[in-house]
């Protein structure tokens, strides 16, 4: 049995009291200021070794910024990691500024979290803060490993981002008990066709509408060439990206929970042209999310060549471009007259591809 590990980031809303809020604010600010102080030194000295940096900054971090010992260490780690990341992605050597109040927390040293309580190190020692437990229960069954968390404050809400890792048995094709073809699109975010011959449409009307709104807004801003329009453009793009990520989470989650364990999902491989258009990353992200969520349920995802998936008649096999009327979202087979929604046809053909695939791989094994 193959074992794989999967890491996901849990976003937890914590509920500090008014006194705790002021203490947390002081703490994350001191932490951020500490980061900026160390960043200046790293920028000038190019020193990325923690021991040397410790000698140069520790005393000041403790006395000047009132950071506790463990927090001072964490500040150095955060700054070093940021410079290393910039280096690795090929940025030139430039001063890193820490603007957002954020606080990196090492599991068991800076924070711990149990079923009913989150405990965190502050400028005045540890405090215990309740959090919203809904949806979190599964992480406390002992099978998840907690990583370095980030405490952030956004729009006056306090959030804890924790990477959680768990080991999963990987699905084997022998155990697959159903095959589901998925066609991703815009009218329907997803159209599925399963082993029982059932079709499900995941409506995308709202998403399509919202995407059109974003498109219009971005176009207007692109025409204005003022600095403030550019700034606004960046903000809107970021907001749109966050929204798309959210939609992808919902769709992948809905798909995986609908079909349960030991499912083979069959999707279309994106071609190069699709990858390059602006929403290429959106499908890529959706695919990745579907993959890891499927793995957690001993399910699998395969991507197949999209050739003819929307032109082939699933009943008689006749393939012709004219079978499909793209504008009307209809498929009418020129040979046998089989008629259906075109997204559904794609899902049916993908499902068929998946069955053939399973037959082939299990015959080889």
Return the number of the residue (4 or 316) whose C-beta is nearest Zn ion: 316
Nearer to Zn ion, 178 or 199 (CB): 199
Compare residues 313 and 358 and give the one whose CB is closer to Zn ion.
Answer: 313
Q: Which is nearer to Zn ion, 139 or 331 (CB)?
A: 331
Rg (CA), the chain: 26
Q: Which is nearer to Zn ion, 162 or 345 (CB)?
A: 345
* Nearest-approach distance from CB 342 to Zn ion, in angstroms: 14
Nearest approach in angstroms of CB 352 to Zn ion is 13
Using CA atoms, how far apart are residues 106 and 110, in angstroms rounded to an integer?
5
Other CB atoms within 10 A of residue 115 CB: 9
H-assigned helices in the chain: 18-45, 50-63, 69-88, 205-223, 227-259, 272-276, 280-295, 342-364
Nearer of residues 32 and 344 to Zn ion, judged by Cβ = 344
Residue 342 in tokens: 């075109």
Q: Is 289 helix (H, G, I), strand (E, B) or coil?
A: helix
User: Taking the complex as a whole, how short is the minimal distance between the CB of residue 337 and Zn ion, in angstroms?
Assistant: 7
User: 265 exposed, middle or buried (CB, 10 Å; 0-12, 13-18, 19+)?
Assistant: buried
The distance of closest approach from Cβ of residue 318 to Zn ion in the complex, given in angstroms and rounded to an integer, is: 5
Query: Which CA distances in Å does 223 have to 56, 244, 270?
Result: 49, 24, 31
Which residues of the shown chain bind Zn ion in the complex (CB under 5 A)? 313, 315-316, 318, 333, 335-336, 338
Q: How far apart are CB 333 and Zn ion at their closest, in Å?
A: 3
Distance CA 217, CA 239 (A): 12
Copy the structure tokens of residue 146.
Answer: 């907690």
Give least dist CB 332 to Zn ion, A.
9
């Amino acid at each position: 049995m193959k074992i794989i590990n999967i890491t996901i980031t849990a976003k937890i809303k914590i509920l500090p009291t008014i006194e705790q809020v002021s203490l947390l604010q002081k703490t994350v600010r001191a932490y951020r200021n500490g980061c900026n102080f160390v960043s200046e030194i790293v920028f000038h000295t190019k020193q990325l070794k923690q021991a040397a940096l410790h000698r140069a900054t520790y005393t000041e971090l403790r006395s000047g910024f009132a950071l506790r010992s463990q927090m001072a260490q964490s500040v150095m780690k955060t700054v070093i990691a940021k410079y290393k990341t910039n280096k690795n992605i090929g940025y030139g050597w430039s001063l890193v500024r820490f603007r957002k109040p954020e606080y990196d927390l090492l599991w068991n040293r800076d924070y711990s979290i149990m079923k009913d309580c989150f405990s965190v190190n502050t400028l005045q020692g540890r405090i215990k803060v309740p959090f919203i437990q809904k949806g979190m229960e599964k992480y406390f069954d002992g099978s998840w490993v907690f990583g370095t968390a980030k405490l952030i404050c956004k729009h006056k809400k306090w959030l804890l981002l924790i990477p959680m890792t768990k080991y999963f048995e990987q699905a084997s094709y022998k155990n697959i008990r159903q095959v589901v073809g998925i066609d991703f699109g815009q009218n329907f975010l997803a159209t599925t066709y399963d082993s029982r011959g059932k079709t499900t449409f995941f409506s995308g009307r709202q998403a399509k509408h919202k995407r059109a709104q974003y498109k219009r807004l971005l176009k207007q801003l692109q025409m204005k060439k003022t600095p403030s329009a550019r700034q606004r453009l960046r903000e809107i793009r970021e907001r749109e990206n966050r929204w798309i990520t959210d939609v992808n989470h919902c769709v992948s989650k809905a798909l995986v929970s609908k079909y349960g364990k030991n499912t083979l999902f069959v999707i279309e491989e994106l071609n190069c042209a699709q990858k390059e258009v602006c929403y290429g990353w959106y499908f890529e992200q959706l695919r990745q999310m579907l993959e890891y969520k499927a793995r957690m349920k001993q399910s699998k995802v395969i991507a197949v060549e999209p050739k003819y998936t929307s032109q082939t008649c699933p009943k008689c096999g006749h393939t012709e471009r004219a079978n499909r009327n793209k504008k009307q979202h209809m498929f009418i087979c020129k040979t046998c007259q089989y008629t259906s929604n075109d997204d559904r046809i794609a899902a049916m053909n993908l499902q068929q591809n998946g069955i053939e695939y399973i037959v082939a791989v299990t015959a080889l094994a």
